[in-house]
């Protein structure tokens, strides 16, 4: 039996340039900064889902030249997000697409520190309900 249930979730990403990452999350994605610890900052994605950014010199992990992490953010208006990010100069990896192998609408882009991001919408209604 588990000792308790989980309350929330934070994904921490590690950066060589914390200021560049903070600009991206605050000024481009417009995420709410909920905790500024100096060498680490935590932003609310939605509800109890958070993303944290950490100065690699102070954190548990080190930034990597190539990251094998994909940060997927679920949103209803995929095309509007695409257009907005393009207007802000964010480097796109793909246009908005509907891959044959997955029932989603999505696009991929490069974030700071070499991290890969995806914004997607689930096309199956029962799946979309699980993530809204």
Dump pLDDT digits (tens) for 93-113: 999 999 999 999 999 999 999
Where does a domain end: 28, 63, 98?
Answer: 63
The mean pLDDT of 26-43, rounded to a whole number, is 97
- Overall size of the chain counted in residues: 132
Single residue among 15, 40, 63 that ends a domain in this structure: 63
Closest residue by Cα to residue 61 from 17, 116, 14 = 14
User: Are the C-beta atoms of 97 and 105 separated by less than 8 Å?
Assistant: yes
Are both 7 and 71 inside the same structural domain? no
Say yes or no: 29 and 85 in one domain: no
As given in the structure block, the two tokens for residue 90 are: 């964010």
Q: What residues make up the domain containing 10?
A: 1-63
| pLDDT tens-digit map of 39-92 | 999 999 999 999 999 999 999 999 888 878 899 999 999 999 999 999 999 999
The total of structural domains in the chain comes to 2
Q: Are residues 96 and 39 in the same domain?
A: no
Residue pLDDT, tens place only, 7-24: 899 999 999 999 999 999
Position 2 scores a pLDDT of: 77
Residues 69 and 106 placed together within one structural domain of the fold: yes
Shared domain check, 96 and 32: no
Of 42, 63, 84, the residue that ends a domain is 63
CATH number at residue 82: 3.10.180.10
> Are both 81 and 46 inside the same structural domain?
no
What is the model's pLDDT at position 98? Answer: 96
């Amino acid at each position: 039996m588990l000792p308790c249930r989980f309350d929330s979730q934070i994904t921490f990403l590690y950066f060589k340039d914390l200021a560049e990452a903070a600009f991206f999350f605050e000024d481009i994605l417009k995420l709410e900064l909920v905790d500024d610890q100096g060498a680490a900052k935590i932003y609310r994605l939605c509800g109890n889902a958070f993303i944290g950014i950490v100065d690699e010199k102070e954190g548990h992990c080190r930034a990597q030249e190539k990251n094998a992490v994909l940060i997927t953010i679920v949103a209803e208006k995929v095309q509007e997000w695409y257009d907005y990010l393009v207007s802000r100069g964010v480097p796109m990896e793909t246009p908005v697409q509907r891959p044959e192998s997955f029932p989603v609408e999505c696009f991929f882009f490069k974030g700071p520190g070499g991290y890969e991001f995806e914004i997607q919408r689930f096309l199956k209604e029962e799946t979309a309900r699980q993530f809204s």
